[in-house]
Structure 1
Amino acid sequence: MRTTLEKVLKNLLYSFVLSGLLSGCASTSPETDPLKKVLSSNDIRIRKVMDDPSLHEVQIRFTRINRDNDSVRFEDYDFGVDSQQYFYPASTVKFPIAVLAMEKINRNKYLNLDTRFYVEGDSVETTFGREITKIFAISDNNANNRLLEFLGQDAINAGFRKKNIGPARISHRLSVPEADEVTTRPLVIYLNDSTTTLLPNSVNSSPKPLNLEGIKKGKGYYEGDSLIEGSFDFSRKNYYPVTSQHGVLKRIIFPEMYAEKERFDLSPVQRSFLLNAMEVVPREVGYSTEEYYDSYGKFFIYGDSKEPIPAHISIYNKVGYAYGTLTDCAYIK
């Protein structure tokens, strides 16, 4: 376990946020804080960050999973974790959006993962299952945005509160014009090959500015082709801190550890589909390895390599990378 954790951090400790569950057996040897031990390493790749961790805004939560027969016990170790210290979550928000979309599908007897649909004004006809697969395999922004149109921002944020996830706020789509439009677009749903129905749009609440530390970042940014001098204001952007990311992941991997009202309402088939989508690498679902190598969406352990990930390593995760922040929330076994 210590060797694996050290390899993870040596490969990835640059300027980012980490959240990880590492599976193992119950330890018989006492150990105080494995994360602290690794971060005190003299390895130059760790030292150049740890000599000034505030500069890199490092936040790490490492959970060791101790198994003893049928029982599971978690040991959490944190470094710099602070939900009041803002970082841009980027594509990590696609994970809860995918899960909440599956919940909504589960509540509608006419929908399933194979149901075909398209967003009004969109030229792509697809299925819910296909979009969820794309979210995890290649972190597809359009797939995420289609599911956001299906859910609406208010329903997503209500889902966080209902499951007692912790602080989080989804306010916008990703990498499209008018990303923060509060009115979603209708979906055309295929009930069968010849019958469609219209899922109407929803009008959502305008996001209130976040009052968090580090909400303004940088010295300048581009707006179109123009360079704007001054810090970028993230106060109306998405917000999904380490503690909440960790909570969503644990509810998917270990639902039995939570009260029923705090679990996601997924059928066994849906959960199996989701876990498979989280684990697969792009080549396993038909993408070219030249562009989408195994570690394209898996930064832990193999993030600095384009070589195939060994078959005996399973990584269930979602990454994010934007505005200078790299994030990975993963369960590794």
Structure 2
Amino acid sequence: MQIQQFVIKYLNTCQILPVHQILIILRTWNNLIKLKILLVFLIIIFGCRKSDNPLDLILNSNIPEIKKIKNNFSNHEIQILYSSIQRDSLGKPTFKEFSYNLDKNYYYYPASTVKLPIAILAIQKINYLIDKGFEISINTPFIIIDLEKDLMMFEKYSNNQNEVLSVANCIKKIFLYSDNECYNYLFDFLGRDEINYQLEKKGLNNTRIYHKFLSNSDNVNSSEFLFISNGDTIYKQNSIKSNLNKSNTNLKSVLKGKKFLLKGKLVNSPFDFSFKNQISITDLNNILKRIIFPENFKKEERFDLHQSDYNFLKYWMSRTSIEDNKSSIVNRDKYWDSYSKFFIYGDKKGEMNDNIRISNKVGMAYGTLTDVAYVRDKINNIEFMLTATILVNDNKTFNDDIYEYESKGIPFLSALGRQVLKLERNKLTFD
């Protein structure tokens, strides 16, 4: 700009410049042109360079299940967190994380994935009661007394411990086929305030669990619990009242869609998720990571569990929905092997490979599909963590039960899992 002004100034005054000044101007102008060409060249070179993020490679692929979603990623509110795991000669794991569209402040509905922390906290509470001197365990049967309905809930005693209502059996049902009643029982056993206090205490600051999975349920006052051993009550828990007064209004996209159904009537306004359960993808990943790799967290960040508790959780998280059917826990006509496994096998039935174990928890509601998983390929000595969520609600209407779970959502998550497994098997590095 200064050179141009200099030239114009002398042209206007009709003065003839000395030859050496003209040469300086031309040389400077020529260098500027070369610099511009170099900058354009660098932009082309680096702009075309392939991304080091394997998720970009996967999402930009022509795989049909992914391509179907790729045309409009923004409408599907996808968030992904992938951790590639390597171990040193001593077996100590290191994690290299890759993410797509990760935003702890962007709301998605976690659905049944909230059952994962509830299951963990229920075992932790049993441990606290043991420390206080109660002769209790996760296998101790309990009875629930609903004071408002004057109702007692229990399962008949039998010689088969799998048919007794207990914390252990509730957790089994939660992981085998995402039982809502068992989640509700454990929610009441813990109490809403204690749930959120314990999660925050462990450093999970982007998680809020507000409600049970039951229409018009009382999320403020819990039922009473009686834990029974040999016909005697060994622990009684009175109703717990919640004072929690928080919401998701500080998050983005808590108002979703354009319409929703309420008691059979269509309401022409967005659906409000301000008081729905919330877990960021990072928190969800780290809850599972605290179970699979507790040693990677500070003591105060870990859940207060024993090794037997970790083993119990990992075992049942890794089961398929038709495994360990020692009683009436699983209805084989209603559930299949990949019923609770979206990644890799979610769009396939009867094809799960025992050499690939997936320890996970899925969620599916309000058009939102989420899976948090630790995947281990025993044959190829591969392990990784993968957490992802996707919204499939083409008509932008909530609560109408018209969602593209089978045609879009589950195939996408399945393909995503398969491609990550393929990358790991090819031993690709992204350093």
Q: Does 1:185 align with 2:223?
A: yes
User: The residue matched to 2:322 in structure 1 has which SS?
Assistant: helix
Deviations 1:23-65, CA, capped at 9 Å, x for gaps: xxxxxxxx93211211121223222322321111000001101
Q: Once structures 1 and 2 are overlaid, which stretch shifts more, 56-65 or 289-298? A: 289-298
Deviations 1:73-115, CA, capped at 9 Å, x for gaps: 1011000111111011000000000000100001112221111
Query: What is aligned with 2:207?
Result: 168
Q: 2:92 aligns with which of 45, 65, 71?
A: 71
8 Å contact kept, 1:119–1:149 = no
Measure how far apart 1:268 and its partner are: 1.4
User: The residue matched to 1:214 in structure 2 has which SS?
Assistant: coil
8 Å contact kept, 2:192–2:219 = no
Judging changes above 3 Å, is the alpha-carbon distance between structure 1 residues 236 and 195 closer, same or farther for their aligned structure 2 residues? closer
Q: Provide the rounded CA distance (Å) in 2 between the counterparts of 1:288 and 1:136.
A: 14
Q: Once structures 1 and 2 are overlaid, which stretch shifts more, 198-207 or 187-196? A: 187-196
| Residue correspondences, number | 302
Q: 1:93 aligns with which of 103, 114, 118?
A: 114
Q: 2:321 aligns with which of 282, 303, 310?
A: 282
Q: Once structures 1 and 2 are overlaid, which stretch shifts more, 210-219 or 283-292? A: 283-292
Q: 2:76 aligns with which of 48, 52, 56?
A: 56
Q: Provide the rounded CA distance (Å) in 2 between the counterparts of 1:133 and 1:71.
A: 29
8 Å contact kept, 1:171–1:180 = no
Measure how far apart 1:282 and its partner are: 2.0
Measure how far apart 1:180 and its partner are: 5.1
Structure 1, gaps ≥5 residues long: 1-30
Q: Once structures 1 and 2 are overlaid, which stretch shifts more, 323-332 or 112-121? A: 112-121
Matched letter for residue 203 of structure 1: K
Matched letter for residue 118 of structure 1: I
Measure how far apart 1:289 and its partner are: 2.9
Q: Provide the rounded CA distance (Å) in 1 between the counterparts of 2:243 and 2:87.
A: 44
Superposed, 1:107-146 pairs within 5 Å as 107-109=128-130, 110-120=135-145, 121-125=151-155, 126-146=165-185
User: Identity over the aligned pairs, expressed in percent?
Assistant: 39
8 Å contact kept, 1:282–1:293 = yes
Which TM-score applies when normalising by structure 1? 0.87
Structure 2, gaps ≥5 residues long: 1-50, 146-150, 156-164, 377-431
Q: Provide the rounded CA distance (Å) in 2 between the counterparts of 1:299 and 1:244.
A: 19
User: The residue matched to 2:94 in structure 1 has which SS?
Assistant: strand
Which TM-score applies when normalising by structure 2? 0.68
Query: What is aligned with 2:197?
Result: 158
Query: What is aligned with 1:46?
Result: 66
Q: Provide the rounded CA distance (Å) in 2 between the counterparts of 1:50 and 1:89.
A: 22
